[in-house]
């Protein structure tokens, strides 16, 4: 963001101050921050001087949906995490990223947990869903890693409304449950075909088998074990293992 452009844009309001904050920049006028109102919710940037107070947040969140936030030092074991969810407690990491990590961080910090997850817990439907997910996690036992994986690709990355329409396997008969493929064209310069576009058709030809489709002879991503091995060549696809 160009600070000079922003100052010119907001000139009708009078002099504004642009401050670097988590996720970008904040705009201030006489000590007050400009906020964004969207769908009835107020959004504000935060910095090191406006880190949330957990008890103050709980005093507002708990009357809404019965949820509370609790501080944790970092990533916690799956069993502990789901036990918190089952009791309507959301673990929030208490450390915060450095200036060099403002745009991306490989593990959750206070900013990620609090401003990414906690606002959703004010919605009654989502709040009930999260508790139910935690209860299933407590019951999962040795299968808890499967729930953890599903949580990562739904809650962490965004819930999918129409999974089947996006090509995800959602029932036992889906060919996507039995097929793997490398990146293929156009993402891989070595690939000789768009293998991901062709993968489901190959899986349907051998419905009881695991099928891997490779874009070249390197066979990237091929799983270990018996399978139908489909490889793209300059002459078309070659099939082995049938």
CATH, residue 140: 1.10.800.10
Are 75 and 32 part of one and the same domain?
Answer: no
Residues 62 and 109 in one domain: yes
- Nearest Cα neighbor of 176 from 154, 145, 197 is 197
Domain that holds residue 15: 3-47
Examine the domain organization and report whether 68 and 91 are in the same domain: yes
Hey, how many other C-beta atoms are within 10 angstroms of the C-beta on 22?
23
- Inside any domain, residue 165: no
Report DSSP state, residue 115. I
Do 98 and 81 share a domain, yes or no? yes
Does residue 137 lie in a domain region? yes
Residue 231 lies in a domain: yes
Q: Which CATH number characterizes residue 204's domain?
A: 3.30.413.10
* Shared-domain flag, residues 132 and 69: yes
Tokens linked to 65: 């949906």
Residue 227 domain-assigned (yes or no): yes
Residues 115 and 200 in one domain: no
Cβ neighbors of 237 (< 8 A, separation 6 or more) are 193, 198, 202, 213, 230, 231
pLDDT in tens, the chain (242 residues): 566 776 677 777 777 777 665 556 666 767 666 665 545 454 544 555 556 678 888 888 899 999 999 999 888 899 999 999 999 999 998 887 776 776 666 778 877 888 788 888 988 988 999 999 999 999 998 888 888 888 877 787 765 566 666 656 666 677 777 888 998 998 888 999 999 889 888 988 998 899 999 999 999 888 888 999 999 999 999 999 98
Report if residue 163 sits inside a domain.
no
SS3 218: coil
Domain contains 131: yes
Residue-level length of the chain: 242
- Domain end point (choices 104, 124, 154): 154
Query: Which of 154, 188, 222 lies at the terminal end of a domain, its last residue?
Result: 154
Tally of domains within the chain: 3
Residue 18 lies in a domain: yes
Residue of 168, 178, 170, 171 lying closest to 223 (CA atoms): 178
* 136 domain residue, yes or no: yes
């Amino acid at each position: 963001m160009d600070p000079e452009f922003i100052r010119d844009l907001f000139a009708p309001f009078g002099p504004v101050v642009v401050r670097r904050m988590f996720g970008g920049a904040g705009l201030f006028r006489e000590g007050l921050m400009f906020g964004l109102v969207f769908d009835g919710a107020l959004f504000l940037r935060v910095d090191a001087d406006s880190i949330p107070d957990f008890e103050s947040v709980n005093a507002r969140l708990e009357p809404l949906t019965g949820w509370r936030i609790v501080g944790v030092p970092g990533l916690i074991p799956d069993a502990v995490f789901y036990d918190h969810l089952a009791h309507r407690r959301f673990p929030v990491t208490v450390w915060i990223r450095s200036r060099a990590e403002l745009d991306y961080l490989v593990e959750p910090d206070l900013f990620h947990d609090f401003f990414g997850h906690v606002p959703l817990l004010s919605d009654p439907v989502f709040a009930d869903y999260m508790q139910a997910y935690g209860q299933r996690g407590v019951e999962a036992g040795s299968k808890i890693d499967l729930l953890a994986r599903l949580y990562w690709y739904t809650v962490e990355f965004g819930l999918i409304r129409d999974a089947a329409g996006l090509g995800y396997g959602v029932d036992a008969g889906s060919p996507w449950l039995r097929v793997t493929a490398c990146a293929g064209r156009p993402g891989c310069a070595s690939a000789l075909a768009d293998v991901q576009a062709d993968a489901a058709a190959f899986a349907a030809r051998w419905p009881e088998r695991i099928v891997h489709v490779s874009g070249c002879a390197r066979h990237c991503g091929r799983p270990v074990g018996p399978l139908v091995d489909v490889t793209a060549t300059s002459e078309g696809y070659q099939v082995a293992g049938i």
